[in-house]
Structure 1
Amino acid sequence: MMKALDISATGMATQEMHVNTISNNVANLNTIGYKKQRAESQELMYETIKEAGSRSDANSNYTIGVQVGSGSKISGVRKVFSAGAPKVTNNPFDLMINGDGFFGIIKPNGELRFTRDGAFNVNAQGQLVTKEGYQVFPGITFPPGVASVSIGNDGTCEAYFTGQVEPQNVGQIPVFTFVNNPGLHSDGNNLYRQTTASGQPIQGIAGVNNTGSLQQGALEMANVSLMNEMTDLIKAQRAYEMNSKVMGVADQMLQTVNNITR
């Protein structure tokens, strides 16, 4: 009966993490470029009371065994990198990646971070930056007096000036891909950084070799489905309630035994 208390406690802790993950997904429903999380659980070790295949007598073996589980635990919280719905903004500095890949972001200390959030802007020096003022790799600067800006599907940035027919090429925005996207570490502020699990970033041209092409004047919204999250929330809540009920039943059984032994 004490084992039932411990097992149900692990189940409640597991479902609590599921609810926390769902809560974070719902909280970021309108976050640009957010990728939903999925909590994954696994069973704990088993206590083997009778091994399957062991001798039942001198001439036969047990065809099934007896194992008692120890509950469950969270094995990982996976980010799901499916595409989010596009939102057309017509802002020339808003960019969306149609497909796989990430924008490179240069931190003030020179380190490179990665994002799917393409809500960019220009600072006082004409540099293409994020909302926090971090430069977009490799460092795109638009000269003063620009009348309009064009960013192609391959990331080529061109500046148009009044009275000039031909645009000025100011650089090209690359797209980075990884062997294992879920292995990236979330730094907050819609930024990721590479880890040993994700592998090294592979720099490529947008729209070439399985990298996504860029779309100017649009943003990628979160890939969170509110209906699916609510369904998962109900399942997690019911599982939590059932584990709680098991704990209550085990407590009542212990109380009964305690009353008998008095």
Structure 2
Amino acid sequence: MFTALYTAKSGMTVQQTNIDLHSHNLSNVSTTGFKRNFANVEDLAYQNYRQVGAAATEQNQLPTGLHMGLGARTVSIGRNFEQGSLQESKNSLDVAINGNGFFEVTMPDGTIGYTRDGSFKVDAQGRLVTSGGLPVANGITIPPNATNISISNDGAVSATVPGNTQPQPLGNLAMSGFVNAGGLEPIGQNLFKESAASGQPQQGTPGTNGLGIIKQGFLESSNVNVVEELVNMIQTQRAYEMNSKAISTTDQMLAKLSQL
């Protein structure tokens, strides 16, 4: 009977993790390029009281065994990298990836970070940077007197400056893809880092080698479905209540047993 207490406790822990994830998803429903999180759950080891196929008699075998489960646990948190909808912003520095891939940005320690957030800005030095001030990997600098900035589908950045009728090329947005994007390590600020699980980045030109194309004047919205998250929260709450009810019932049974 004590097993029931620990089994139900493990179920409550799993549902608490689910609630935390649903809350995190809902809090980022308006975050550009955010990818929905979800928990991967597995059942715990079983107590084997009677082996499947054991001999019942000299001529017969047991068709089933007796394995008592001990609950569940959360083993990992995954991310759904399904494409979010593209929302038009009409800002020339806003870009979205229509398809697979990540923008490359230079981290303060010189390493490369990866993001789906293309809400770029220009800093005091004229560099094209993220909202957090991190420069894009190829070091694109916008002239201070640029009158028009254009970013093509393949990531080529150009600008029109006074005195020139032809656009001046400024560089190309760096993009990478990963064999296992779910293995990227999230570090906050809409950024990911390469990990052993993600594999090495596969750099390429947007629109080639499985990478998506660039859409200027658009931003990728979060792929969180508010209605789905709310329904899942209700289901999680009910599961939590049922596990807590199992603990309460077991406690009552133990109290009754102690009175015998």
The TM tier, using the shorter chain, reads: over 0.9
Question: Post-superposition shift, 1:139?
Answer: 0.7
The offset of 1:164, in angstroms, is 2.3
Query: Corresponding residue for 1:194?
Result: 194
1:175 — aligned with what?
175
Shift of 1:163: 4.1
The 2-side partners of 1:108 and 1:74 are apart by 33
- Note the alpha carbon deviations across 1:7-39, whole angstroms, 9 max, x for none: 000000011001110110001000011000011
- The CA distance in 2 between the partners of 1:131 and 1:174, in whole Å, is 17
Tell me the C-alpha RMSD between the 2 structures.
0.8
Q: Secondary structure at the match of 1:114?
A: strand
Contact 2:136 2:174 in 1 (8 A): no
Pair 1:224 & 2:224 matched: yes
The residue identity in structure 2 corresponding to 1:128 is L
Taking the aligned partners of 1:131 and 1:10, their CA distance within structure 2 comes to 40
Cα displacement string for residues 163-220 of structure 1 (whole angstroms, at most 9, x for unaligned residues): 4221111101121100100100000011100100001111110011110100111100
Matched, 1:211 2:235: no
How far apart are the structure 1 equivalents of 2:257 and 2:156? 76
Tell me how far 1:109 sits from its aligned partner: 1.8
- Aligned pairs (5 A) from 1:133-172: 133-172=133-172
Is the 8 Å Cα contact of residues 15 and 237 (structure 1) preserved in structure 2? yes
Aligned residues: 260
In 1, Cα distance between the equivalents of 2:99 and 2:227? 24
2:214 & 2:139 partners in 1: Cα distance?
Answer: 17
For 1:256 and 1:238, the matched residues in 2 are separated by: 27
TM-score, length-scaled by structure 2: 0.98
Runs (5+) with no aligned partner, structure 1: none
Query: Which residue is 2:8 aligned to?
Result: 8
Structure 2 residues not aligned, in runs of 5+: none
Q: Deviations over 1:71-90 (max 9, x none)?
A: 00001110110011111111
Whether 2:89 is the aligned partner of 1:84: answer no
Identity %: 38
Per the alignment, in what secondary structure is the counterpart of residue 141 of structure 1?
A: coil
Paired position in structure 1 for 2:21: 21
Are the counterparts in 2 of residues 175 and 212 from structure 1 also a CA contact under 8 Å? no
Equivalent residues in 2 for 1:91-106 (5 A)?
91-106=91-106
Task: Tell me the distance in 2 between the aligned counterparts of 1:131 and 1:58.
Answer: 75
Aligned amino acid, residue 82 of structure 1 = E
